[in-house]
Structure 1
Amino acid sequence: MLTVVSIILIIHICAGTIGLLSGTVSLFSRKGFPLHRKWGHIFFVSMLVMGATGAFVAFMRDRPDSTIAGLLTFYLVSTAWMAVRRKSGEIGNFEKISPLLALSCAIYAISVGVAAAETEIGTIRGFPPTFYFGQAGLAAFMIALDVSVIVRGGLSGAQRIARHLWRMGFAMFVAATSIFLGNPQVFPEPVRRIEILAAPVLIIVVTSVFWLLRVQFTNLYKKPKKSLPHAT
């Protein structure tokens, strides 16, 4: 008989699969064009579901590392989405409240790291304190960027697009790492090799960096355009 946790785990797996497939199309399509927007919507929803359900299942199974990762993924995707939903130079209550989720993750990660240091084996779920402190540091870094956006009253131009891209890309990186490197047992034996399973993760990183560089160092997104041509 399926339990509530088992059902949510199935939803998590399905959402993650859809997220990676839609994210791949969105990642390789030209930003701002209909194809990117269409698949980006699917990626956004599926990643929110994946992050939320993953955090819930991990918490119920006492896996703080995955709980934090799931919550940060949810936070990354939601803030990335709002970066392009807002008009240039505009912020709202969401931008002022969302850092509280990252702050909660940072506090939780620090507490788990301290608890890991106090155990006899010096780890919790196989991870040392430095791993959890690293998660806390990542959350703190994101909070600092959020505070910068709030103080500046929003972003515009290339900076606004870059915030969207790197946060979506990082969320996809977390999902791909969890699936391909964190659960290699789900793949057939012939492809269960590090050089094969690491390839999708590396592709996501390289492609995300490419788009970030293109946004930052070209004039493509420097000024708002009156209209965009149809994608072909």
Structure 2
Amino acid sequence: MTPELLTLFHVLTGTLCVAAGGMAFLAPKGKSIHRAAGSLFLVSMLATALSGAVIGLLEPDRLLITAFAGLLAAYLVLTGWRTARWRTHRPGAFEWTALAAILVGLAGLATLAVMALQTETGRLLGFAAEDYLLLAMMTAMGAVADLTLLVRGTVSPRHRIARHLWRMGLAYFIAVGSFFTGPGARIFPEALRESGWLSLPEGLTALLILGFLARTLFKRSRRHPGAAS
């Protein structure tokens, strides 16, 4: 596949991912439309994340960060999907493997952030140190939550829902950001890009996810004290 076709594939699957993810979040939970949209979101998110990672590896001088963003997004949707399919509410070899993979990504992001901070401009390979640090913080959040879960060895049904929700939600937030204010924004007219309106979907997505998560945690805190991992 040529770089042009790979980029087109990445944009198309990213568009599908944003649409399917929005439908999955807004649809009644547990209904067939939610499950169908969720499955479509999973497949399209993996496709756009992995293609984005490949693009980043092919053009490391200006897009290396997308390789790490792709790894993080794939990790989030896979562990979120896995959580929803648990039958015993106990983690296993899959979670240990996912933790090892994301720790490698975290080490890479931390290294790039330090290298960027040591430059005169505070930038490295086209991105600021803050960009690497933000992605590293998201990655660390997932790693710490996984490690906590693996140490505990089990999770309550309500904690399982919260874990599924925040992981899928964060992956969707990354997809929306990439589409509206990241590389995907190139499909919009320049006037619209410079207006600031394309930042609105990102903020609304964050509020939507936080609202669902807060409601879940509030109900859970009354019946099952503890933090979700």
TM-score between the two structures when normalised by the length of structure 1 = 0.86
- Whether contact under 8 Å (2:45, 2:74) holds in the other structure is yes
Partner in structure 2 of residue 93 of structure 1: 93
Amino acid at match of 2:92: G
The alpha-carbon deviation at position 111 of structure 1 amounts to 1.9
Partners of 1:43 and 1:112 in 2: how far apart?
A: 30
The alpha-carbon deviation at position 141 of structure 1 amounts to 2.3
Q: Is the counterpart of residue 40 in structure 1 residue 38 in structure 2?
A: yes
- Whether contact under 8 Å (1:55, 1:70) holds in the other structure is yes
Superposed CA deviations along residues 15-38 of structure 1, whole A, max 9, x for unmatched, are 111111111110111222211111
Partner in structure 1 of residue 168 of structure 2: 168
Q: Is the counterpart of residue 178 in structure 1 residue 178 in structure 2?
A: yes
Partners of 2:67 and 2:155 in 1: how far apart?
A: 30
**1:1-232 correspondence runs (5 A):** 4-62=2-60, 63-183=63-183, 184-189=185-190, 191-218=192-219
When residues 193 and 115 of structure 1 are mapped into structure 2, their CA distance, relative to the original with a 3 A threshold, is closer
- Whether contact under 8 Å (1:55, 1:68) holds in the other structure is yes
Partners of 1:30 and 1:213 in 2: how far apart?
A: 17
Please say which of residues 40-49 and 85-94 is displaced more in the overlay. 85-94
The alpha-carbon deviation at position 193 of structure 1 amounts to 4.6
Please say which of residues 74-83 and 84-93 is displaced more in the overlay. 84-93
Q: Any gaps of 5 or more consecutive residues in structure 2? A: 225-229
Q: Secondary structure at the match of 1:86?
A: coil
Greater share of helix = 2
Partners of 1:191 and 1:122 in 2: how far apart?
A: 28
RMSD: 2.1
Partner in structure 2 of residue 227 of structure 1: none
Amino acid at match of 2:159: Q
Q: Any gaps of 5 or more consecutive residues in structure 1? A: 224-232
TM-score between the two structures when normalised by the length of structure 2 = 0.87
- Whether contact under 8 Å (1:47, 1:74) holds in the other structure is yes
List structure 1 segments (4+ residues) > 4 angstroms apart after TM superposition.
Answer: none
Partners of 1:133 and 1:206 in 2: how far apart?
A: 22
Partners of 1:59 and 1:7 in 2: how far apart?
A: 16
Partners of 2:190 and 2:143 in 1: how far apart?
A: 41
The alpha-carbon deviation at position 160 of structure 1 amounts to 0.4
Q: Secondary structure at the match of 2:96?
A: helix
Partners of 2:175 and 2:137 in 1: how far apart?
A: 19
When residues 177 and 27 of structure 1 are mapped into structure 2, their CA distance, relative to the original with a 3 A threshold, is same
- Whether contact under 8 Å (1:162, 1:216) holds in the other structure is yes
Partners of 1:42 and 1:24 in 2: how far apart?
A: 11
The alpha-carbon deviation at position 91 of structure 1 amounts to 1.8
Identity of aligned residues (%): 32
Amino acid at match of 1:82: R
How many residues were matched structurally? Answer: 219
Please say which of residues 5-14 and 186-195 is displaced more in the overlay. 186-195
When residues 189 and 94 of structure 1 are mapped into structure 2, their CA distance, relative to the original with a 3 A threshold, is same
Q: Secondary structure at the match of 1:121?
A: coil
Superposed CA deviations along residues 128-185 of structure 1, whole A, max 9, x for unmatched, are 3343234323322211100111122232222101111111111111111111112433
Partner in structure 2 of residue 229 of structure 1: none
- Whether contact under 8 Å (1:88, 1:157) holds in the other structure is no
The alpha-carbon deviation at position 58 of structure 1 amounts to 1.2
Q: Secondary structure at the match of 1:31?
A: coil
